[in-house]
Amino acid sequence: MKNEKPFKPGSGFGMLAIAFLIFFGAIAGLVLMRSPYFGILFLVFFFMLPGFFVVQPNQSRVLIFFGEYRGSVKKNGFFWVNPFFSKKKISLRAHNFDSERVKVNDKLGNPILISVILVWQVEETYKAAFEVNDYTHFVRVQTDAAVRKLANTYAYDNFEDDSEITLRSGMEEVNHDLETELAERLAIAGIKVIEARIGYLAYAEEIASAMLQRQQATAIVAARYKIVEGAVGMVESALEELNKKQIVDLDEEKKAAMVSNLMVVLCSDKSASPVVNTGTLNH
């Protein structure tokens, strides 16, 4: 496999001056000398014209001589090369690619919609010009393939194991894996991946409503767990303080009643309604 090699072209301004000398020399010869042989200079002038080209900032030209790769010009400026050279223009600028939303199945088999945003640029002009048929189309196809592979590797979400990396919770790790996968796929075309990340992520329409209810239920259960955990701690602390300061002497039955009442108050969705006991603790 060949690699990119630099080519140093001649200055376009020097050759342009020579071309104009030939052109005006041909005119002068025809007018003053009246010799038809000076017409050959016109052929030389027009033969030289295809050799001129301009390389803009962050652009390049791949030079081909009758099917043979001769080199790449990345230096900016006005140049001249052999007129028989074919000059293929390749941009070195950064490109943004926002892929279409594709429907794929995640690791658990749930249909999801996902798209990615890719920032890329050509790094090796030889590979971009000759290793693939169309490097821009190659980027699109390989990005789509990488997205599908990524979605099959991770679950969209995991309600049972919070430590598992998922598409929704592990964005940093997932984006890193996506960038690595794309860099390996696009290296054959001489393309450098600057950044790759998930641009859109959601459940497919047919299961979005059910998954939303499941997420809400999971959130409610988690919140209830925290409430109960906190309430138990508060009740335990209250009993310890009462016993420590000997404010009141409670037997096991009264402790159970107190714990029951405190748990109801602390875990209830509604505000507690106080009831004034005008009798004794036993009534």
Tokens of 130: 């000759």
Say if CB 163 and CB 143 are below 8 A apart. no
Per the DSSP assignment, residues forming a β-bridge with 97 are 118
Q: Domains of the chain (ranges plus CATH)?
A: 10-90 (no CATH), 95-203 (3.30.479.30), 209-267 (no CATH)
pLDDT of the residue at 230: 72
| pLDDT tens readout for residues 160-199 | 666 678 888 888 899 999 999 999 999 999 999 999 999 9
Say if CB 48 and CB 14 are below 8 A apart. no
User: Of the spans 62-66, 108-112, 258-262, which averages the highest pLDDT?
Assistant: 62-66
The average pLDDT across 77-101 equals: 94
Whole-angstrom distance, CA of residue 131 vs CA of residue 123: 13
At 35, is the pLDDT very low, low, confident or very high (cuts 50, 70, 90)? Answer: confident
- Greatest extent of the chain over all pairs of C-alpha atoms, in Å: 137
- What is the helix (H) or strand (E) element at residue 113, kind and residue range? strand 111-122
Overall pTM surpassing 0.85 (yes/no): no
Per the DSSP assignment, residues forming a β-bridge with 69 are 64
pLDDT of the residue at 216: 61
How many CB atoms within 10 Å of residue 178? 22
